[in-house]
Copies of this chain bind each other. A is one copy, B any other.
Amino acid sequence: MRSINLDTLIAAFAGIETITDPHQVAKLSQDYHTFSPVLVPKLEGKVGDIVVRPANEQEVLKVAAICAKYRVPITVRGAGTGNYGQCVPLYGGVIVDMTKMQEILWVKPGVARLEAGVKLAALDKKARDLGWEMRMTPSTYRTATIGGFIAGGSGGIGSIQYGLLGDRGNLLALKVVTLEDEPRVIELRGDDVQKVNHAWGINGIITEVEIPLGPAYPWVEVIVTFDDFMTAAKFGQALGNTDGMIKKLITIFASQIPQYFHALHQYLPGGTHPAFLMVAESSLESLPGLVQQYGGQITYQKPAFEAGKGANLGEFTWNHTTLHARTVDTSITYLQSMFPADPQLQLVEHLYNYFGDEVMMHLEFFRVNGKVIAGALQLVRYTTEKRLNEIIAYHEQQGVLIANPHTYIIEDGGRKVIDPEQLKFKEMVDPYGLMNPGKSKVLQFKIKN
């Protein structure tokens, strides 16, 4: 907290819901950076001073004006499902919890506009009535909010079709409130949305989002098992490249990983390497031919009309894989990788073999610039930070792109450098440097007067 005491702040926020109970505030100062044993000690004890829960744009404007006036740092959060400490306040201050702003403003064929606090699952439910759904969702879609996904996410289930969230066309408009003396509401459209996309809440408070939707195919969930990991990986790539088949998820696990999926045990024979898939019902009949070509076995198939029932395969993929593994063994952490385009997946094969059980291969196929790429969220048996860094360094030397999830510095993660357009926008909307301070190398926290 800066040059103002808490009571003054509480008084200023009158009329807006606030939370001051230290236990609650501490909880709302957290996210899922706990997946990283490196981040945990670095972010320990970092809590906000107060949580404010605006219910509408007017209240957000008021919160922004107060924080700007008193030069109080703010950390904006949705459901806090991020993994890089994006939502952990390094310098205390105000936590702005956006989850009360849950209005779905409209859904039209192919497009939706919603408040930032809308849960992804809630949007999907509404959009599906019209035959549409979110183009891509993280594995946390039951709890995650759209504002949080855009500020801190990058892609997920659906990216095999539509690429990543930052790709042109996947985000149509954003409305943000500035942290100026007299906060403004700014609507960004077209390429301008990139000024705020994946900016970790440093570039204004996102209040509304307009996103394109994808057709809500009836999705069938399928598990295919293989005796050999590389055959499974190549099957995944081949399915990704089959333009005539509509798919939403292609995940490949090395055989050590299924031990963490208790609920699916009976479909995952020991020693086999499974593919977890979501394919459109109209493509299902084309699957056995491809599976046979690669010598796989279909062990599980959940028809689309049962999508809401039982286990949901999507919730075992992307970073939920790590979650399930950590439920069993808290010493497990993970990497985030992108392998180069390669029909032979040679680097995947090399790294699958190189680290053995220490790094368990978990591939997620998705599109990058028109090509199907093997991404990976490998599970790592953690020993020391030094060893983890050696593992990362070896991957990078070999040509794997690592978006390091063991740092809370935005440039050290996937982005490498902050877009200059984002920095220019930052100077305008956050003149006092109050938004999520300390998360960027180029933006040292220093209250500007």
Contacts and interface: CB of A to CB of B under 8 A. Distances in A.
Contacts of A282: 110-111, 172, 212-213
Interface in A289-318: 289-290
Given A190-B285, A282-B110, A288-B190, A167 B212 contact: no
A372 interface: yes
Given A213-B282, A282-B110, A242 B167 contact: yes
A43 B372 CA distance: 45
Contact of A241 (B110, B191, B370): B370
A245 B215 CA distance: 14
A286 interface: yes
A289 B169 CA distance: 10
A135 B288 CA distance: 22
Interface in A151-184: 161-164, 167-170, 172
A240 B191 contact: no
Nearest to A159: B243
A46 B172 CA distance: 57
**Chain copies in complex:** 2
Contacts of A214: 215
A147 B283 CA distance: 21
A109 B212 CA distance: 20
Interface size class of A (residues with CB under 8 A): 35 or more
A183 B43 CA distance: 77
Given A190-B286, A217-B110, A167 B244 contact: yes
Contacts of A368: 243
Interface in A301-357: none
A47 interface: no
A3 interface: no
Interface in A105-120: 109-111
A214 to B, nearest CB: 8
Given A167-B242, A169-B283, A241-B370, 17 more contacts: A110-B282, A161-B243, A167-B243, A168-B289, A168-B290, A169-B242, A169-B246, A169-B286, A172-B282, A172-B285, A190-B285, A214-B215, A240-B370, A242-B370, A243-B368, A243-B370, A370-B372
Interface of A: 109-111, 131, 135, 161-164, 167-170, 172, 189-191, 212-215, 217-218, 240-246, 280-283, 285-286, 288-290, 367-372
